Chain A
Amino acid sequence: MTRSIDIDQVLDDWLAEGPRQLPDRVVDSITADIGHAAPTRRWRLPWRNHVYRNYFALAGAAVIVFVAAGLAVSLLANLPGIAGPSPKPAPTPTASPTGSASPSFVPTATPLSEEFRVTALLNGFLQARIAGEGAEAYLEGAEYSNHFPPLLYQTTSGARYDRAEFEPVSGIEWPYERDAYKVRLFAGDTVVEQLMFWGADYPLKLIYTDFGYGTEIAPTTENGQPVASTYKYLGGQVTLRAAHPWVMSNSDGNGFGRLTPEGPGVAPTTDGGQRTEWDELFIMGDPEHVPFDEGCLSGTTAVDATSLADSIRSDPSLETTAPAAVTVGGANGVMMNVRRFSGASLCASVNEDGSFTDHWPVLYPIFSQASERNEFNGHYSYQSTGEWMKLYLLDAPEGASLQVLAIAIAAPRTTFDRAVEAAAPVLDSIEFHLP
């Protein structure tokens, strides 16, 4: 005899049971983890130098290779137009006439070696790009962020790819235990290069990031030139285009970007926690100025660029240069340099829960991220980085939901000129879009 089961109701009721509270010690552990931002690294040998330490390992590998051969041959062999490194020490699968892999094929978890798995993913990914469809299935997280490679199926001029190749990128300790591969797609004389990643956290997918973990390697180039991406801020009312070496955030509200360091003495490392100081670019809608000498009491949001500039200039705690008239993205305003000496306090009007009242403080770009947040007069203050900030205050066009757009470039003295120069094409690309 069996019972009549309303499985939906049963599952609703049963899944409603159980613990619901994350223990405090886990929160503490997470906080400690992010405090130690430098990622753990595993020691990995480059593909071509894999050495098996004993015969047992070699025998085990042979078994795995044998079991995997059916799948691997179909993936690795006979993929028209794709060349890549061969895993070792395997009896490397050779080309066979068994047909090509389906562009939409995504391997399932099997006891394959990492090399085979990554090779299969890269081959399938590149073949789909040449075929003109199905490459999205190989990418992790593309719908949430700019993890979507530009020029996926064609070059800027619209030419389709006819062949591709890939190689591991060694010499850099990639963060988060990920490995990097440079893929190269050819369309006649045009070459598109992109940096793809693979990690054990997403073993069945490839990862593309439009910042490439902040190395000197541009995430996407076309004939050697970095390819710019479009970024939308403040609800899409402001757009800009930026390319490597800029690393821009993908937020929908206020935006910021960081300039990848370069030049003598800069190690080819990543931003996986190793770097704390960056040259930065900020996009802020209707920022607020909270004067320190008035007790950090809540500030006011200026209704136009000139009055906000006047408020900043009248703050005796700040060093400022004379404002100069500018036009950016068709909007008129003023530009000036602003600084508060290193270690001095800067005000942030903050609600009880720690959030800013309504708008970012206009001096936020020169808040030190490393400083403690201190309570002052019932409000909060941070320490200044001591950096100069080139501040553009623009009157937003009529019809926009914001009054003032602030653009700030903040950098130490030693790199300030480079940051301002690098920001010039980004500023030139700024456009307003009325809601």
Chain B
Amino acid sequence: MDQSFIDRARRGDQEAFTSLVLHFGDRLFSVAYRILRDTGRAEDAVQQAFLNAWRELRNLRDDDRLEAWLYRLLVNACYAEVRHTTRWQPGLRLITDLDSGPIADDAQLSVADRDELERAFRKLSAEHRSVLVLHHYLGYSGDEIADVLGLAPGTVRSRLYHGRQQMRAAIEADSRAITSRGMA
């Protein structure tokens, strides 16, 4: 990202800020979708994150941390989405969501697996989901996540551990339920 875009956006240049949106928008949306599991809410979270960035950009101290800061704003916007949205969420994901991005090797993840994962993930808190997404999707280490989100490293490790455990437990429980139904 060219430094002059950040400088100009900081001074209030809307065109330069739009360049930032175009540069970072896809990445932020990808993360928001994976946390919220809903395209519309992810779009809302991204919009709110960029609006907050526009308001606060002047105060960003280190331009090299722009992306990390945007992720912080985004994750906070996702938390707000979760808090403010009370509408019922279906337990199963929409098939159309799968159509709009790459799909991993089917040999590893079957449709049933995906359903289990979706159900298990939706049961996690937004805080746990965020840490899992930053780690497993963006590839951030625990310390990097702590830095981005302003958490203690121990808190991040704890959330990662419990998030994984809950996912594993939920998947295994689903597996057992399916197996027992199949045997009945």
Which A residues contact B (CB, under 8 angstroms)? 1-3, 5, 7-23, 26-27, 29-31, 33-35, 39, 109, 141-147, 175-176, 200-203, 209-211, 247, 249-254, 256, 272, 276, 351, 353-356, 360, 369, 373
Given contacts A13-B104, A18-B34, A176-B55, contact A369 B12 (CB under 8 A): yes
A249 touches B168 (CB 8 A): no
| Whole-angstrom CA separation of A144 from B65 in the bound complex | 8
| Whole-angstrom CA separation of A189 from B22 in the bound complex | 53
A147 touches B109 (CB 8 A): no
Residue B59 at the chain A interface, CB threshold 8 Å: yes
Residue B90 at the chain A interface, CB threshold 8 Å: no
B59 touches A209 (CB 8 A): yes
Chain B, range 1-52, C-beta contacts under 8 Å to A: 2-7, 10-19, 21-22, 25-26, 28-30, 33-34, 39, 43, 46-48, 50-52
B58 touches A250 (CB 8 A): yes
| Whole-angstrom CA separation of A369 from B7 in the bound complex | 13
State the main secondary structure of chain A at its contact with B: loop
Within 8 Å by CB of A14, from B6, B55, B109, lies B109
Q: Which residue of A lies closest to B105 (CB)?
A: A13
Within 8 Å by CB of B21, from A21, A27, A355, lies A27
B56 touches A145 (CB 8 A): yes
B26 touches A253 (CB 8 A): no
Within 8 Å by CB of A29, from B47, B68, B109, lies B47
| Whole-angstrom CA separation of A200 from B59 in the bound complex | 20
Within 8 Å by CB of A30, from B50, B56, B133, B168, lies B50
Given contacts A12-B136, A201-B76, contact A18 B21 (CB under 8 A): no
Residue B85 at the chain A interface, CB threshold 8 Å: no
A11 touches B47 (CB 8 A): no
| Whole-angstrom CA separation of A3 from B4 in the bound complex | 53
Given contacts A11-B136, A14-B109, A19-B97, contact A27 B22 (CB under 8 A): yes
Enumerate 13 A-B pairs (CB-CB under 8 Å) in ascending A order: A8-B136, A10-B109, A17-B101, A18-B101, A20-B29, A26-B25, A34-B51, A144-B59, A144-B68, A249-B10, A250-B58, A256-B10, A373-B15
Within 8 Å by CB of A2, from B63, B150, B175, lies B175
The digit string for B142-163, where 1 denotes a CB below 8 A from any CB of A, is 0000010010000000000000
- Supplied contacts A21-B26, A250-B60, 11 more A-B pairs, CB within 8 Å: A13-B108, A15-B136, A17-B98, A17-B102, A22-B43, A39-B55, A251-B10, A251-B63, A252-B62, A254-B7, A353-B19
Interface size class of B (residues with CB under 8 A): 35 or more
B47 touches A30 (CB 8 A): yes
Q: Which residue of B lies closest to A19 (CB)?
A: B100
Q: Which residue of A lies closest to B48 (CB)?
A: A201
Among A15, A22, A34, A201: residue with most chain B CB under 10 A: A22
The digit string for B126-141, where 1 denotes a CB below 8 A from any CB of A, is 0000001100110000
Given contacts A30-B50, A354-B15, contact A7 B167 (CB under 8 A): yes
B176 touches A369 (CB 8 A): no
| Whole-angstrom CA separation of A31 from B13 in the bound complex | 11
Within 8 Å by CB of A19, from B6, B33, B51, lies B33
Q: Which residue of B lies closest to A248 (CB)?
A: B58
B158 to chain A, nearest CB (A): 15
Within 8 Å by CB of B14, from A2, A5, A12, A34, lies A34
Q: Which 10 pairs from chain A and chain B are nearest by CB?
A: A145-B59, A355-B2, A22-B25, A13-B104, A22-B29, A356-B4, A250-B61, A19-B100, A11-B136, A15-B137
B104 touches A251 (CB 8 A): no
| Whole-angstrom CA separation of A254 from B4 in the bound complex | 9
A5 touches B21 (CB 8 A): no
A251 touches B22 (CB 8 A): no
Residues of B within 8 A of A39 (CB): 55
Within 8 Å by CB of B63, from A35, A252, A351, lies A252
A7 touches B101 (CB 8 A): no
Given contacts A2-B172, A17-B104, A256-B11, contact A30 B2 (CB under 8 A): no
Residues of B within 8 A of A203 (CB): 83
B84 to chain A, nearest CB (A): 9
